[in-house]
Chain A
Amino acid sequence: MNKHPNKIYASPILIFLGFAALIYINLQVSLDRVNFYVIGVLSVVAINIILTVSLNLINGITGQLSIGHAGFMAIGAYTTALFSIHLGTPIYFNLLVSGIAAGFVGFLIGLPTLRLRGDYLAIATLGFGEIIRVILQNLRFTGGAAGLGGIDWVDNFYLTQFMAIVVVIVVWRIGASAPGRAMVAIREDETAAETVGINTTKFKVMAFALGSFGAGIAGSLFAHRMTYIAPDGFTFMKSIEVLVMLVLGGLGSITGAIFSATLLTVLPEFLRFIDEWRMIIYPALLVTVMIFRSQGLFGTMELDFARVKSILKKVAPENLGPEKGKSNPPMQKIKALGFDSQEQKPILETKDLSISFGGLKAVKNLDMQITQGSLHGLIGPNGAGKTTVFNMLTGVHLPSSGEILFNGQRIDGNSPYSVAQAGIARTFQNIRLFKDLTVLDNVKVAFHLHADYGLGTAVARPPKFGAAERRITSEAKELLEIFKLGDHCMTIARNLPYGAQRRLEIVRALAVSPKLLLLDEPAAGMNVLETEKLMELIHWVRDEFDLTIFLIEHDMSLVMKLCQTISVLDYGMKIFEGTPEQVRKDPRVIEAYLGEEVS
């Protein structure tokens, strides 16, 4: 149980060592044993730690590639400069204002930009970073290219250190909370995150604004230390420097970020004696590290004692016990939604639903009703448009025309997270777990709707936080226990056996507490025995959780035995609907799907 890659927790020994080093340094400084130059370097180390750790929130934890961090630092620095020069405000005030200014600009920029993914987002942030610099260069009140001088010099060595520690703790705490888990989920699989009800835009913008806030604070401290700032201190290269510190340490790892920010600030100072080679060695080192250890020095791991031990022991990645059978799950009740199941009203209804991709109509004029509490099957040849139907129902694809009604409410056009919040959960044909998270975290992410606390609580951690977290953990464990995954809580999802991954995906969907569960080929890749067990499981889930289940399946034996109603899709059109018996006999279905009798 030494594998907790995304679990962010502090190891006592590491904290102890860190504090010992801090105390030693501060003692030396306070006794005037350290010269001004070294204090300067140490302050820059702290500022770089703030920058790197705050960027880690955006790039590492939330997985949104931003390469314009220097722009936000610039906003912080200039805010401080302007306040200090014109109003002579004290540093504490400036810190706050600078953070808010940078965070606000981050929010404004993040809102439209974070719709973009991957490289495109990176380029957009690069563009914004450069534009901020060019604007500063051209405005008269920011001093143009010459910059601003005469900022109050404050001996902020201690304050800088303190702020670095605060930023580290804040990011650390966010990482280990429900909002943090939502962010990590976005990094792992944005689509899957949306389908468990995470408002991805909200959390991305939140991470972006907070990260920018941190950069603003760093800029403010920088301005007070340097007393003079100019636009060319905040170029693209500065952004890259921070990014490199982050990536070298390992994206997502806070200890890694601290370590490499320190290393990359201090190392060049030591390399001064070979000054002319310094700028060659530095990038060469970077390239070498990337080639031989592309996940960064620490990966997404946090350095702690247990981990060091596990590396030394070389624990095999797959040491799972035998998979247990899952027949006859305990009749334990988790959640009753309490509706009248005798009523035969449709929970889900589609009217004239169509979608086309690049001129090709993938689904044509689909009319369908799913009765509340029923087990409804959707079959059809590969490529008939079944998964496309699911994608429309869950808001992943926007239908070209037609309506989708869930409990009588129109949900077409809603984004996936709000569909999930309304009560539709799903699994995916090709299993989309958060592969690098533990089994437990996979479920806890989906419980995020149950976390009735916000970011402030996550950072301040009043008793309420602990209670909420304990509740989420115990609920998640309980659910896992029911599905015989209790022993695997700390296993990384990707290391689970195939069948267990499928079950975990169902558990994750159930954690959203849905009213309608969509299963996309749950039996794919299972043998006859596993399939049979799965059938029992699905039946049991439906009864126990008072669900309606709508499933796509190829395994005819499963569909025929399990479902009350089956719709047959072919070539994007519903060609038949009825009971398994009717489906089996219908000539159209036989022709399209089951095939003619072999002569």
Chain B
Amino acid sequence: MLKVTDLHVYYGGIHAIKGISLSVKEGQIVSLIGANGAGKSTCLNTICNLVNNSKGKISFLDRDITSAPPHKIVKLGVAQVPEGRKVFPQMTVAENLDMGAYVRKDKSGVRHDMGKVYKLFPRLLERKNQLAGTLSGGEQQMLAIGRGLMAKPRILLLDEPSMGLAPLLVREIFSIIREINSLGTTILLVEQNANMALSIANYAYVLETGRIVLEGEAKVLAADEKVKAAYLGG
């Protein structure tokens, strides 16, 4: 459903992404792993057209979205949960979720989905009226994911959801990601925690200095000696 063909990105004078091609099939969890600075986040940002200086083709549901403005891309059903959460710090939890549904017009549907998000993250319901900036890191991550879901996306792009979270929380977040996927949302997951990412993904790409160096079924990759050595701490 999402297809990236021969993508190049130039970023602050640096050729950050050097010809990436990848595709995500409906209903899958696809994971993009690699070290810091390998270009994972740049890749996601380019899909959402937040980064301009790019060459190549990106299509979603057979529509060319390479140069569509970011807000149109969201309307088509691509929601991103950014690296570092990026919740709106001066808004309450409920307002943040409401912002997530910004492109939607069906009020009852929004209310229904808000209920679903609260069911998924009971902690957010408890803190409904708290300012997002005062939440803990884990709660902010939940809120960011919840906000992404509120757009009722066909595909959810997750950027480093485990960043800065305690191991227990990471596990919780990942089980929720799996749950979201089982409820019918396709997921493209960018992760540094390769172990976790490979454990829930169907398919994975390994990114190194702007190039895809390896791709395959997540299970196969997890067993790969090279991957183990470089990313799984051998």
Residues in A lying within 8 Å of B, measured CB to CB: 318, 358-360, 381-384, 429, 494-495, 497-498, 521, 523-528, 530, 554-557, 570-571, 584, 590-596, 598-599
Cross-chain pairs A/B with CB under 8 angstroms, 11 sampled: A381-B165, A382-B36, A382-B162, A383-B163, A494-B12, A498-B209, A525-B39, A571-B166, A594-B232, A595-B196, A598-B195
Asked if B164 and A381 sit within 8 Å, CB to CB, the answer is yes
Asked if B222 and A495 sit within 8 Å, CB to CB, the answer is no
Instruction: With A384-B164, A498-B14, A557-B229 as known contacts, state yes or no: A525 contacts B36, CB within 8 Å.
Output: yes
Asked if A382 and B209 sit within 8 Å, CB to CB, the answer is no
* Least CB distance, A378 to chain B, in whole angstroms: 14
Asked if A554 and B35 sit within 8 Å, CB to CB, the answer is yes
* Least CB distance, B223 to chain A, in whole angstroms: 8
Q: How many angstroms from the CA of A555 to the CA of B35 in the assembled complex?
A: 7
Asked if B199 and A383 sit within 8 Å, CB to CB, the answer is no
Q: A382-B162, A594-B195, A598-B195 given; name 8 further pairs at CB < 8 Å.
A: A360-B136, A383-B163, A495-B13, A497-B14, A523-B35, A557-B230, A584-B233, A596-B195
CB nearest neighbor in B for A492: B13
CB nearest neighbor in A for B170: A381
Asked if A359 and B233 sit within 8 Å, CB to CB, the answer is no
Asked if B196 and A524 sit within 8 Å, CB to CB, the answer is no
Asked if B232 and A521 sit within 8 Å, CB to CB, the answer is no
* Least CB distance, A18 to chain B, in whole angstroms: 35
Residues of A within 8 Å of B35, CB to CB, are 523-525, 554-555
Residues of A within 8 Å of B208, CB to CB, are 527-528
Residues of B within 8 Å of A554, CB to CB, are 35-36, 192
Check: B151 CB closer than 8 A to any chain A CB.
Answer: no
B residues 127-151 in Cβ contact with A at 8 Å: 133-134, 136-137
Asked if B166 and A570 sit within 8 Å, CB to CB, the answer is yes
B residues 21-49 in Cβ contact with A at 8 Å: 35-39
Q: How many angstroms from the CA of A78 to the CA of B37 in the assembled complex?
A: 58
Asked if A382 and B192 sit within 8 Å, CB to CB, the answer is yes
B residues 209-234 in Cβ contact with A at 8 Å: 209, 222-223, 229-230, 232-234
Residues of B within 8 Å of A595, CB to CB, are 193-196, 232-233
Residues of B within 8 Å of A591, CB to CB, are 167
Check: B198 CB closer than 8 A to any chain A CB.
Answer: yes
CB nearest neighbor in B for A591: B167
CB nearest neighbor in A for B231: A556
CB nearest neighbor in B for A501: B14
Q: How many angstroms from the CA of A495 to the CA of B10 in the assembled complex?
A: 12
Asked if A383 and B165 sit within 8 Å, CB to CB, the answer is yes
Residues of B within 8 Å of A525, CB to CB, are 35-39, 209
Q: How many angstroms from the CA of A497 to the CA of B233 in the assembled complex?
A: 29
Q: How many angstroms from the CA of A142 to the CA of B193 in the assembled complex?
A: 71
* The residue from B13, B14, B134 contacting A359, defined by CB atoms under 8 A apart: B134
* Least CB distance, B230 to chain A, in whole angstroms: 6
Chain B: interface residue total (CB-CB under 8 A): 35
Instruction: With A592-B167, A594-B195, A595-B233 as known contacts, state yes or no: A381 contacts B209, CB within 8 Å.
Output: no
Residues of B within 8 Å of A594, CB to CB, are 195, 232-233
* Least CB distance, B193 to chain A, in whole angstroms: 6
* Least CB distance, A157 to chain B, in whole angstroms: 48
CB nearest neighbor in A for B210: A525
Chain A interface mostly: loop
B residues 108-142 in Cβ contact with A at 8 Å: 133-134, 136-137
Residues of B within 8 Å of A381, CB to CB, are 162-165, 192-193
Residues of B within 8 Å of A570, CB to CB, are 166-167
Residues of B within 8 Å of A494, CB to CB, are 12-13
* The residue from B13, B164, B198 contacting A382, defined by CB atoms under 8 A apart: B164
Residues of A within 8 Å of B133, CB to CB, are 358
* The residue from A495, A521, A528, A557 contacting B36, defined by CB atoms under 8 A apart: A521
Residues of A within 8 Å of B167, CB to CB, are 570, 591-592
Residues of B within 8 Å of A528, CB to CB, are 208, 230
Residues of B within 8 Å of A598, CB to CB, are 195, 198-199, 222-223, 232
Residues of A within 8 Å of B164, CB to CB, are 381-384
Q: How many angstroms from the CA of A526 to the CA of B35 in the assembled complex?
A: 9
Residues of A within 8 Å of B136, CB to CB, are 360
Residues of B within 8 Å of A318, CB to CB, are 13
Residues of A within 8 Å of B137, CB to CB, are 360, 383
CB nearest neighbor in B for A592: B167
Residues of B within 8 Å of A521, CB to CB, are 36-37
* Least CB distance, B71 to chain A, in whole angstroms: 25
Asked if B36 and A524 sit within 8 Å, CB to CB, the answer is yes
Residues of A within 8 Å of B39, CB to CB, are 525
Give the top 3 A-B pairs by smallest Cβ distance, nearest first: A383-B164, A525-B37, A595-B195
CB nearest neighbor in B for A359: B134
Q: How many angstroms from the CA of A498 to the CA of B11 in the assembled complex?
A: 11
CB nearest neighbor in B for A526: B209
Asked if B195 and A382 sit within 8 Å, CB to CB, the answer is no
Residues of B within 8 Å of A523, CB to CB, are 35
Q: How many angstroms from the CA of A274 to the CA of B36 in the assembled complex?
A: 61
Residues of A within 8 Å of B38, CB to CB, are 525
Instruction: With A524-B36, A554-B192, A598-B222 as known contacts, state yes or no: A593 contacts B230, CB within 8 Å.
Output: no
Residues of B within 8 Å of A384, CB to CB, are 164
Instruction: With A381-B162, A382-B160, A525-B38 as known contacts, state yes or no: A556 contacts B193, CB within 8 Å.
Output: no
Q: How many angstroms from the CA of A498 to the CA of B12 in the assembled complex?
A: 10
Residues of B within 8 Å of A556, CB to CB, are 230, 233-234
* Least CB distance, B5 to chain A, in whole angstroms: 23
* Least CB distance, B33 to chain A, in whole angstroms: 12
Asked if B196 and A382 sit within 8 Å, CB to CB, the answer is no
Q: How many angstroms from the CA of A555 to the CA of B34 in the assembled complex?
A: 10
Residues of A within 8 Å of B193, CB to CB, are 381, 595
* Least CB distance, A524 to chain B, in whole angstroms: 4
* Least CB distance, A347 to chain B, in whole angstroms: 27
Q: How many angstroms from the CA of A599 to the CA of B195 in the assembled complex?
A: 10
Q: How many angstroms from the CA of A528 to the CA of B209 in the assembled complex?
A: 9
Q: How many angstroms from the CA of A329 to the CA of B168 in the assembled complex?
A: 45
CB nearest neighbor in A for B137: A383
Q: How many angstroms from the CA of A461 to the CA of B98 in the assembled complex?
A: 65
Q: How many angstroms from the CA of A526 to the CA of B34 in the assembled complex?
A: 11
Residues of B within 8 Å of A592, CB to CB, are 166-167
Asked if B192 and A593 sit within 8 Å, CB to CB, the answer is no
Residues of B within 8 Å of A590, CB to CB, are 233
Q: How many angstroms from the CA of A553 to the CA of B162 in the assembled complex?
A: 17
Residues of A within 8 Å of B37, CB to CB, are 521, 524-526
Q: How many angstroms from the CA of A523 to the CA of B209 in the assembled complex?
A: 11
Residues of B within 8 Å of A358, CB to CB, are 133-134
Residues of A within 8 Å of B229, CB to CB, are 557
Q: How many angstroms from the CA of A595 to the CA of B198 in the assembled complex?
A: 11
Q: How many angstroms from the CA of A353 to the CA of B154 in the assembled complex?
A: 46
* Least CB distance, A293 to chain B, in whole angstroms: 20
* Least CB distance, B124 to chain A, in whole angstroms: 18
* Least CB distance, A390 to chain B, in whole angstroms: 15
Residues of B within 8 Å of A524, CB to CB, are 35-37
B residues 176-206 in Cβ contact with A at 8 Å: 192-196, 198-199
* Least CB distance, B24 to chain A, in whole angstroms: 22
CB nearest neighbor in A for B12: A494
Q: How many angstroms from the CA of A556 to the CA of B14 in the assembled complex?
A: 25
Q: How many angstroms from the CA of A554 to the CA of B165 in the assembled complex?
A: 16
